[in-house]
Amino acid sequence: MADLLTHVLVPFVLLTPLSWRLSWLSDQWIVLAMAGAAIPDLVKIRIVLDSRVIESLLGVPFSYAPISTLGGVLVVAAAIAVCFGDHARRAYGYIVFGGLTSLVLDGLRVFADGQANFWLYPFVWWRPPTPSLYVTSDPRVTAVAIAAAATVFLADRYRAGFGE
């Protein structure tokens, strides 16, 4: 998968220009989409807690991989969204949106056989075709994401200053 910084910047780049047209799309919702974009990266929990530990506790085979799938995003987003009280439903939508952008972005990365992983699980066991646009550690991907986010940020500040 792409690095976490790239993941969280993508919803910012996509939603901030929309917020210039849509008054209800304010910054607090955009940051929730950015937080949602981090959900697939939670699969890295395996670095600190090996799946074999969970397997020994449960007594059955276990994988963290579903966290980086559509099902994982929908479920983790629900657990996070309920922490937003009266805003839970709206928060859920933005968190899921952010998670989806990360899944789609990861679905475009390099796979040697031209098909991505099972990121649509559990709805379908299918490996969608990938254009193999980038490798996960390519710093150019991060550079493009930072440049795009900086451009959007400056344009947003300019508009905010212009409106005052």
CA distance 106 to 39: 12
CA distance 153 to 17: 9
Residue 131: CB minimum distance to other proteins, A: 13
Residue 71 touches other proteins, criterion: CB under 8 A? yes
Quickly list DSSP for 119-158: TTTTT-----B----B-TT-HHHHHHHHHHHHHHHHHHHH
Nearest to 136 by CA among 111, 164, 161, 100: 111
Q: Which residues pair with 109 in a beta bridge?
A: 134
CB 127, CB 118: distance < 8 Å:
yes
How many residues sit close enough to other proteins to count as binding (CB under 8 A)?
58
Residue 1: CB minimum distance to other proteins, A: 9
Residue 54 touches other proteins, criterion: CB under 8 A? yes
Q: In this chain, which of 23, 48, 125, 140 binds other proteins, going by CB under 8 A?
A: 125
Q: In this chain, which of 60, 140, 161, 164 binds other proteins, going by CB under 8 A?
A: 60
Residue 64 touches other proteins, criterion: CB under 8 A? yes
| Per-residue binding letters, 99-118, with other proteins (x by CB under 8 A) | -----------xxxx----x
Q: How many CB atoms lie within 10 A of CB 122?
A: 13
Q: In this chain, which of 14, 65, 108, 144 binds other proteins, going by CB under 8 A?
A: 65
CA distance 51 to 65: 10
Residue 66: CB minimum distance to other proteins, A: 4
Chain residues binding other proteins by CB under 8 A are 3-9, 27-28, 31-32, 34-35, 37-38, 41, 44, 51, 54, 58, 60-67, 69, 71-72, 75-76, 78-79, 82-88, 91, 110-113, 118, 121-122, 125, 127, 132, 135-137, 139, 142
